[in-house]
Structures are given as C-alpha cells and as structure tokens.
Amino acid sequence: MPAEDHPLPSSWRGLDRTLRLGWTASPGLIAVAFVTTVGAALPDVLIAAALAMLADAVLSGEQLGVVTASVLLGVLAVMSWLLRLLSERANRRFADRTAVFMEAHVVRLQSGIPSLEHHERPSYVNRVQLIRDHADTLSEVYQYLFQAVGAILRLILTVALLMTIHPLLGLLGLFAVPTAVVSHWRGGVEHALEERVGHHERLARHFFLLGTNASPGRELRVGRARERVRQGRHRAWAARHHAMARARWTTTAWQSAALTVFSCAFLGSVAGVALGDGSAAEVVLLLTAGSRLAQYIGQTLSQVHFLRTIWLEGGRRLLWLEELSSISAERSPASPPERIRSGITLDRVSFTYPGTDRRVLNDVTLHLPAGAVVAVVGENGAGKSTLVKLLAKMYEPDSGRILVDDVSLADMPADAWRERLSGTFQDFARFEYPLRLSIGVGDLARAEDEEAVERAVERADAHTLVDRLDRGLDTQLGNTWAEGAELSQGQWQKVALARGYMRDQPLLLLLDEPASALDAETEHLLFEQYAERVRALKDRDLITLLVSHRYSTVRMADLIIVINGAEVCEQGSHEELLALGGRYAELYEIQARAYRIGK
Ligand SMILES: Nc1ncnc2c1ncn2[C@@H]1O[C@H](COP(=O)(O)OP(=O)(O)OP(=O)(O)O)[C@@H](O)[C@H]1O
C-alpha cells in the first residue's frame, strides 16, 4: 500500500475526533471543564470595564459610583479566581480519567491492526512513535483547547469593550490576525519537521540504549566501542537539533514581525485617544483592556501553538491510526476451515515490503501438504521469515494467492485465521508474567487450564526449567519485578516455545528459528520427539512449518524447501535433495563436515 493511501487527516477532523473521544471517556467532567475554563474569560475581561468605571467615579467625585465600582471589582476578582480554581480541578480530574482511556485506546488500535505495516514501514514508524510517546498526554489536549477558546473569547470581548471607546479601535483585533495565523502555521511546520527528522531521534535513542543496557554493554567493553557509540548518539542529536533550530529561528522571526505590527497599531491608538478628545476613563479603559489585549493575544498564541504542535497533531495521528485500523479491518467473508484436507498452496506469490522496492519473494509456488512437517532453509535474508509472516497473514502478497485447501487466505479474517495458528518466532517476546501465564498467553482462553499449560511445558521439554524455579509455574518472571526471576536467553526461548505449543489442534504451526538459542543437540532431540509425535497422530491435518539453519534438525522434515535469491530453488525430502546434489546437498555437506571435524 503506498504512503499516499493513508495521508494524515486534517487538524479539524483530528480535533473533532479527539473531542468525541473525550466525551465518551467522561461526558460530565468534560462539560464542567469546558464551562469553567471558558467562563473564566468573562470576569477577567470585565475587570477592565470596572476599573474604567472606578476611574470615572473617582474623577467626578461620585461616592456611590466609587463604592459600586469597587464592589463590582471585588466580585469580578473573586469570580475569576473561583472559576480558575474550579477549572483547574475539573481539567485535572478529567485528564486523569482520559489518560487511561486514551492509552488503552492506542494499545487497542495498534494491536488490532492485522498487518505489521505500521511497525515496519519507515514512513509510518515516525507517526506511530509520536502517538506512542504522547498516548498518555493526549488527555491534556482538552485543557489546552478550552484555554485557547477562553483566550479567543477574552480577545473578542476585549475588542468589543475597546469599540465602546471608538469603533475604529475594533481594527486592533484585525492587527492581531497575522500573529494568530503565523502561530498556527508555526506549530504545523515544526511538528511536520519533527516527524521528518524522527529517524535521528530514534537513532539517538538506539545509541543511548546501546550505551546503557547490560547486554550490548558487554560487547561495547570488549570491542572498546563506547566512544564510537557516544559519538553516534551525539551526531544523531546534533542532526535533529540543527534541523529543528533552523526551522524555529525562521518561524520565530515571522512571529516577531507579526507581533511588531500589532504593537505599533496599539501604541498608535493609545496616542490617538490620549491626544484626541478621549476622557480619562476611556484612556484607562484603553490602557487596561489594550494591554490585556496584547496579553490575551500572547496567551492565544501560546495555546494555539501548543495545541498545534503536540496536542492537535497527536489527535490527527490518532485519527490516522483509527482510519488505518478500520481500513485494515476485516472485509473478509470466508471462515477458516475446521480441518485441512489437502494442504496450503502458494500460487505464484510475490512480495515486496511496503515502502521498499526490492522483491523479497518472487513468484513462489509451493504446496505444504496436510499433516506434513515442512522445513524451510536458505541463507540469511533469503525470505524465510517473510514467508512465515505471509502465512500468518501479517502481510498480503503483492500478487499471487495463498490457498488453504481451495479457500484464499486473503478472504479469511486475520483474527479467525490466527486462532487456528500457533507459532514461535525468531524475535520472541519476553512476557514478564508468572511463568504459567507467560506460557498461557499462547492461548489466552486456556491460560488457567492447568493441564493445557503442563502439556505445553512437556512439548517444549521445559520441565527442567520449571523445576529449577523456586515457585515452579507460579514464579514471577523478569527483572523489572523486585521478586522476578531473570532467565537466560535459551530459557526465555523455551518459554516462548512452550507458548507456541499451547494450542492443542492448530491447523498450522509456525516455528521460525524456535530453538536458535538452544544447543544443536537439544534442538535435534526436541524436534525428533516432535516429528515422532506428529507422525504418530496419523489422522491429524496439522501442517508444521519450521525455519532452521541447522540441517541436523531440518533433515527430519517430510518436505524441505530451499529458498535462494527470493525464489524457491529446490524442494523435496532430505534423501531426494541429497540425491539431487544441488544447493541443499552442498550446504548439508558443509555442516555435516564441520560437525564431524568438531567431534
Ligand atoms: N520490515 C521490513 N522492511 C523492509 N525489508 C525487510 C523487512 N523485513 C525484512 N526485510 C528484508 O527482506 C529480506 C528477507 O528477510 P527475512 O527476514 O524474510 O529473511 P530470512 O530468510 O528469514 O533471514 P534470516 O535467516 O537472517 O532470519 C531481507 O533482505 C530483509 O532485509
């Protein structure tokens, strides 16, 4: 899908959506927050009029007028203070409530998108990162928005007050327009740039993590590369900073020019009223309201700037993510079969990662027979994991079809298909839950099922691991917990493998280098047992697709597929491929020789 297919929606649509979400999260609080924040504008502005009344009464010596104006001033000041207080409390409570709501919404959206495109496509990664970074602060958009509305209301009321002195003073409001326009433009420019240079920030973050985490720390010390990483981080930050600083200088210059235009107009009008036939009260009103006008313009600008940079842009990206998620959502009429009779067929499948132009799989035609254990081999980068991703429906092929028996995978809802899959992936997750749940999430509905978890442990041959832990399956995993047990890389992988074995009757089991952190002998034994178990269940239709670089494991498969240069170059059983004397035979012989020499 090209990038233009999902452009960012407009700020207005983003704002509309953000408001609706706020209303859904807490309609009562959003209403109170709005009324108190915007309502505080009224007493604020009227204070200038009360001051003018007071000046008038003092100069004309009217005692009653002085008392009335003073009382009015007091009431307005108290009202202004009270409304501010209420608005602050209401906004705070509302933000707390919506923060959790927004974060959950973002998590739901991101994990609900069937494809991995938003995590892997370079032009989307920056957007997703911005949403992720601001997910918890998106709830503050409302406070800034209401304050911006309040500031605009103050501006309008102040201009109306000034027009009571002379209608032409209303033009002061016009002189404020350039500042508002520049401020709006400024926020957009800076935010778009931030997104464009987001890769520098990610790079700096990557170097930061390299320099501060334990596992890269070992290699950095041995390789004496700490300084190199530090410089890399510094350069990445500098690249980001220079680009941002240049843009900020330009936008600040425009904003200063716009503010100068307004200041000149204001000073000119004060001089006009003072030197003309304006009364003392009018001069007081112009000075108080006019100087506040500048303050209100400043407030409006900063609120609009904040809104435009972080909050509204966040809302636009959130809406973009919602649209992406609904576009990717299920349009698929077919259900996955209960059983596979014939197998899964790839018919002239080609695939290119979105945002790139190199074909990773080219015209691949394959048949994975029902009940078979199929191994996929090939050099690094050959396209093995990509094949696994297509079979898991993480991506759709650019051309060609994947058929489950005779139903196209493209016609099946991704979630329904994935309920019939099991898998362990190369970059497996470390779920820092109690061990039982860390395995159970492989089939969450049965996570509490004691027997199901025990069976998964047995299939992954993870008994030793469970026995070694003080509290067995109830042990809390992960060192982010005070009492959490940290596992070795191989042990974490065994947990992932057990997770992949949680489902009892999947149609397809995807094992993408599931034992790369285990030693060759353990991997061999594990899959020997596995292959025997699968073959013993003769009537089963389970297809196992195993990606491995170890030929001692691969040779046990019923069918071996060799991928080279994005294409399938050989396929057959171990014996057939050895007899063929091609690429497989060559690679097998190299490993077997190395193993013999090693012995
Ligand atoms: N998200 C992605 N975006 C763009 N290109 C990608 C992406 N993931 C993988 N590739 C490219 O696709 C090609 C195939 O990658 P794949 O992960 O399928 O290889 P593999 O055969 O599994 O390799 P390995 O044995 O090293 O795991 C590689 O050249 C890789 O650079």
What are the pLDDT digits (tens) for 86-111? 999 999 899 888 888 888 888 888 77
Atom of ligand 1 nearest to the CA of 389: 18
In this prediction, residue 324 carries a pLDDT of 80
Indicate whether residue 359 lines ligand 1 (CB < 6 A). no
Distance 389 CA to ligand 1 centre (A): 10
* Residue 425 beta carbon below 6 angstroms from any ligand 1 atom: no
Which residue's CA is the nearest one to ligand 1's atom 5? 353
Residue 503 Cβ inside 6 Å of ligand 1? The answer reads no
Work out the end-to-end distance of the chain between its first and last CA atoms, rounded to an integer number of angstroms.
Answer: 51
Kindly list the distances between the CA atom of residue 69 and the CA atoms of 72, 76, 86, 476, in Å, as whole numbers in the listed order: 5, 10, 26, 69
Q: Which two tokens stand for residue 60?
A: 């004309």
CA 380 / ligand 1 centre spacing (Å): 8
Match 């604020």 to its residue by tokens.
Answer: 44
Q: Which of 495, 477, 494 is nearest to 486 (CA)?
A: 477
Q: Give yes or no for residue 358 CB within 6 A of ligand 1.
A: no
126 lines ligand 1 (CB under 6 A): no
If you measure from the C-alpha of residue 231 to the centroid of ligand 1, how many angstroms do you get, rounded to a whole number? 29
- What is the whole-number distance in angstroms between the Cα of residue 271 and the centre of ligand 1? 72
Ligand 1, residues 115, 124, 352, 360: which to mutate, most atoms within 8 A of Cβ? 360
CA atoms within 13 A on the CB side of 317: 29
**Close Cβ partners of 76 (under 8 Å, ≥ 6 residues apart):** 43, 46, 47, 50
Coil, helix or strand at residue 291: helix
Strand partners for 543? 508
Provide the H-helix boundaries in 469-546: 489-500, 520-536
Q: Whose CA is nearest to atom 17 of ligand 1?
A: 385
Helix or strand holding residue 351 (H, E): strand 343-352
Ligand 1 contacts CB of residue 433 (under 6 A)? no
Max CA pair span of the chain = 116
Report the nearest-CA residue for atom 9 of ligand 1: 386
Q: Kindly state the tokens that stand for 496.
A: 């992932």
Q: Is the CB of 148 under 6 A from ligand 1?
A: no
Closest by CA to 486, choosing from 476, 478, 496, is: 478
The answer, yes or no, to whether any atom of ligand 1 lies below 6 A from the CB of 122, is no
pLDDT in the model for residue 598: 46
Q: Which two tokens stand for residue 271?
A: 């001089």
Distance 415 CA to ligand 1 centre (A): 24
Taking residue 263's Cβ as centre, other Cβ atoms within 10 Å add up to 14
493 alpha carbon – ligand 1 mean position (Å): 21
Which pair of structure tokens corresponds to residue 204?
Answer: 């700096």
Task: State which of 357, 362, 364, 386 you would mutate to test the pocket of ligand 1, scoring each by most atoms of that ligand within 8 A of its C-beta.
Answer: 386
For the chain, 599 residues long, give each residue's pLDDT as a single digit of tens: 444 467 788 888 888 888 888 888 889 999 999 999 999 989 988 998 898 889 888 888 888 999 999 999 999 999 999 999 999 999 989 988 888 888 888 888 877 777 777 677 766 777 777 777 776 667 777 888 888 888 888 888 888 888 888 888 888 878 877 877 787 787 778 878 887 888 888 888 888 888 887 777 767 777 777 788 888 889 989 998 998 899 889 989 998 898 888 888 888 888 888 888 778 888 888 888 877 776 677 777 777 767 766 666 778 888 888 888 776 655 567 788 888 889 999 999 999 988 788 999 999 999 999 988 999 999 888 999 999 999 998 888 999 999 999 899 988 888 888 888 888 888 888 888 899 999 998 888 888 899 999 999 998 888 889 999 888 999 999 877 878 888 888 899 999 999 999 988 888 999 998 887 777 777 887 787 777 777 766 656 889 999 988 888 888 899 999 999 889 999 999 999 999 988 899 888 887 776 655 44
Distance CA 337, CA 143 (A): 51
Q: Is 381 in the pocket of ligand 1 (CB under 6 A)?
A: yes
What pLDDT, on the 0 to 100 scale, is given for residue 562? 95
**Angstrom distance (rounded) from CA 45 to CA 592:** 87
> 3-class DSSP state for residue 544?
strand
- Separation of alpha carbons 369 and 560, rounded Å: 12
CB contact at 8 A, 546 and 376? yes
Distance, in Å, from the CA atom of 493 to the CA atom of 501, rounded to the nearest integer, reads: 12
CA–centroid distance, 381 to ligand 1, in Å, is: 5
pLDDT of residue 139: 77
In three-state form (DSSP H/G/I as H, E/B as E, the rest C), the secondary structure along 218-270 is HHHHHHCCHHHHHHHHHHHHHHHHHHHHHHHHHHHHHHHHHHHHHHHHHHHHH
Task: Name the residue at shortest CA distance from atom 25 of ligand 1.
Answer: 380
Q: Indicate if ipTM > 0.90.
A: yes
CA distance 433 to 492: 12
Q: Are 371 and 542 in contact (CB under 8 A)?
A: yes
Task: Quote the ligand 1 centre to 383 CA distance (angstroms).
Answer: 6
| Domains with residue ranges and CATH for the chain | 3-328 (1.20.1560.10), 336-420+506-599 (3.40.50.300), 429-505 (no CATH)
Report d(CA 136, CA 114) in Å as an integer: 24
CA 42, 47, 48 angle in degrees (round to 5)? 110
Q: What is the pLDDT of residue 1?
A: 41
Q: Best of 128, 353, 428 to mutate for ligand 1, by most ligand atoms within 8 A of CB?
A: 353
**Cα-Cα-Cα-Cα dihedral sign, residues 92, 94, 96, 99:** negative
Dist. CA 495 → ligand 1 center (Å): 25
The encoded tokens of residue 476 equal 């809390």
Q: How far is the CA of 197 from the centre of ligand 1 (A)?
A: 25
Q: Which residues pair with 562 in a beta bridge?
A: 377, 570
> Helix or strand or coil: residue 510?
strand
Cα–ligand 1 centroid distance for 509 (angstroms): 20
The minimum-distance atom of ligand 1 relative to the CA of 120 is 1
Does residue 548 line the site of ligand 1, with CB under 6 A?
no
Q: Quick one: pLDDT at residue 316?
A: 82
Distance CA 141, CA 133 (A): 14
